[in-house]
Amino acid sequence: MKGFVPPPRLSLSNEPLPITRSITIAEGISVKDLAEKLEIRAKDLIARLLAKGVFATINQTLDAELASEMARFFGAETSIISFEEQAAKEVAETSAGEQGSAPEGGPRPPVVTIMGHVDHGKTTLLDSIRSTNVAEGEAGGITQHIGAYKVSMLDKDSPAYGREIVFLDTPGHEAFTRMRSRGAKATDIVVLVVAADDGVMPQTIEAIDHAHAAEVPIIVAVNKIDKPGALPDRVKKQLADRGLMPEDWGGKTVFVDVSAKQKTNLNLLLEMICLVADLQELKANPDRPATGVVLEAKLDRGRGPVATVLVQNGTLSTSDNFVVGNVYGKVRAMFDDRGHQMEKAPPSTPVEILGMEGLPQSGDQFLVVADRDRARGISDYREQKFREATLAKSSRVSLEGLAEQMKTAGIKELNIILKADVHGSIEVLSDLLGKMSNDKVRLKVLRAGVGAITESDVLLASASNAIIIGFNVRPERKAQELAEQEEVDIRLHSIIYELQDEIKRAMTGLLEPTIKETYQGRAEVLDTFRIPKVGTIAGCRVSDGLIKRDSEVRLLRDNVVIFKGKVGSLRRFKDDASQVTNGMECGISIANYGDIKVGDVIEAFVTERVAAEVMA
């Protein structure tokens, strides 16, 4: 068109501005937020990114390195903090701005971790304190996962009447060191349980080291004082040599002689915990958004990802949006340690949470956020970073690596696929297996996941010549059939040191004859009946194979083993039956066990001794 003058082109200077100020940016900052902090227009920042070859929208998150580079170009030095630190800073500023609101808040219940050696009575002590029974279902008497429980002082004569204490029960076996150390980080006080008849053992020393590393006070509970060979003074001497000098010997460590079975001095122990907590002046502000730590996470077939979270500060409510590690979500429902639904969880409350979009890692920081889109942005950013790190790790090839492979050409590699019922076990077992590699056999965990062993696990094992290890989980029926067809070795365990011993023996070629299981059949529980003097009878339909009167059985709930035992009685209508086959209905009782629920699966098998093949 005649006389038309085109508008001037946007000209971008390639010269960076001189550094004149310093700004703080959080990880995964969006283009819009960075522009606001730099006090420039978002379109100028987008144009600068475009000149660098980065196509970004106004809501896109930027990697910390790129954001710092952009800030330097516009004359600002950056210091990078995590999203959690940024949120804590914002909350502190808000609290300071409100008239008369104390950011530290009021007193909160102490969080106590119970530590000590295997079989020194940690879980039994906790049971006696909260008067419920956790130890009954534990395999080999070892606690496999962290549990968290809130108890109230009910003794009206006690000066601590009505006070609440939160207990974390950490696993006892040495291979769970990492889980135990994570328990110590979330805690205010450590109760070290030492058996009076056994004295100080390796894991007792480990527990002391963890408590010292976490800089938390230690209270020693000398347990089993009712046993004939009990020598509480010997325990005091051994611990005094380790730097824990008893108060009555002029030191600073509180010692309480207890008996978990006889319930001796339990109130005194709780009073001492309250006293030590008072000296620490533990505070939390219930009026702020909740923050906490994930103690455990698992996949539940009916409810999806479920996490046990310890709320450390603030109050958590249903419908709150949150970020936890690289997962975000909204609290759909909350349950306390006894399974009761809750609407609000004040500070120092352990809760089970539903509503996550994925499975977080144990030990991840939990943070309530006001903006769901911001939560999703941070979660996506962290997930992308995690994926990039994983890909970089798996695809990195270098000459050094090649030379290393040539040097170790004689080494056999044993591929392992690991499945467990909760995330904490996965982490520990992966660590344990990684450390077991030696100069003849290298162990490599190809896949580690939570839940039952599936067909895809078996296919991966078949393709990569791997063995599958199931810890407290079972293979799905189709996966079992596929494994037999593909001749994939599936090893199932419920006690960690048995698994460790089996792998060690296999690596040295000394695997002894093992007990081989032959699957017989499975029955689904349709109804349950309680019969006096007999117990619980499960009304079942045999869905596969057959069940015999002399079969050994395991009770599965969501593909997780709840109990292992023998058939107590097997009946068709009112008559005893020697066996019941596919499609038939029957009544089954399990010897010495009554907690059967509708929907459970009873799996029958027989065991025989066979010579084991060396796996590696």
The average pLDDT across 51-59 equals: 80
Q: From the centroid of its chain, how far is CA 538?
A: 33
Would you identify the CATH topology of the domain 291-387? Elongation Factor Tu (Ef-tu); domain 3 (2.40.30)
The average pLDDT across 89-93 equals: 65
The number of residues in the chain equals 616
Please give the backbone phi and psi of residue 568, each rounded to the nearest 5 degrees, phi first: -80, -50
Its CATH architecture, for the domain 111-281, is 3-Layer(aba) Sandwich (3.40)
The region of weakest confidence among 74-88, 285-299, 523-537 is 74-88
Bin 319: left if φ > 0, else alpha if -120 < ψ < 50, else beta.
left
Q: Work out the angle at residue 46's Cα, subtended by the Cα atoms of residues 44 and 52, and round it to the nearest 5 degrees.
A: 110
Do residues 168 and 186 lie in contact, with contact meaning Cβ atoms separated by under 8 Å?
A: yes
Res. 45: pLDDT tops 60: yes
- What are 245's two structure tokens? 């000098």
**Which of the two residues, 176 and 503, has the higher pLDDT score?**
503
Q: Mind listing the pLDDT tens digit for each residue in 120-137?
A: 777 778 878 776 444 444
Crossing angle of helices 42-51 and 31-38, in 10° steps, is 110
Res. 279: pLDDT tops 80: yes
Res. 402: pLDDT tops 80: no
Its CATH architecture, for the domain 21-81, is Orthogonal Bundle (1.10)
Predicted local distance difference test score (pLDDT) of residue 399: 45
The average pLDDT across 447-463 equals: 85
Same CATH topology for 21-81 and 291-387: the answer is no
- β-pair partners for 323: 328, 367
Q: Work out the angle at residue 508's Cα, subtended by the Cα atoms of residues 506 and 513, and round it to the nearest 5 degrees.
A: 45
The average pLDDT across 35-45 equals: 84
**Which of the two residues, 502 and 93, has the higher pLDDT score?**
502
How high does pLDDT run on average in the chain?
77
With 0.85 as the threshold, say if the pTM is over it: no
Closest CA to 311 of 261, 260, 347: 347
Sequential DSSP letters for 297-330: EEEETTTEEEEEEEEEESBEETT-EEEETTEEEE
The average pLDDT across 369-387 equals: 78
- Sorted by where each begins, the domain ranges of the chain are 21-81, 111-281, 291-387, 411-511, 517-610
pLDDT class of 481 with cuts at 50, 70, 90: confident
- β-pair partners for 441: 412
Q: Helix or strand or coil: residue 400?
A: helix
Predicted local distance difference test score (pLDDT) of residue 3: 66
DSSP H helices in 144-265: 177-185, 202-213, 232-241
Res. 390: pLDDT tops 60: yes
- What are 457's two structure tokens? 């696990």
The region of weakest confidence among 15-24, 174-183, 567-576 is 174-183
Predicted local distance difference test score (pLDDT) of residue 526: 92
CATH of domain 517-610: 2.40.30.10
The region of weakest confidence among 13-27, 52-66, 212-226, 536-550 is 13-27
DSSP H helices in 465-608: 477-486, 496-507
Please give the backbone phi and psi of residue 604, each rounded to the nearest 5 degrees, phi first: -105, 145
| CA pair distance 512, 582, nearest whole angstrom | 35
| CA pair distance 303, 81, nearest whole angstrom | 34
CATH class of 411-511: alpha beta
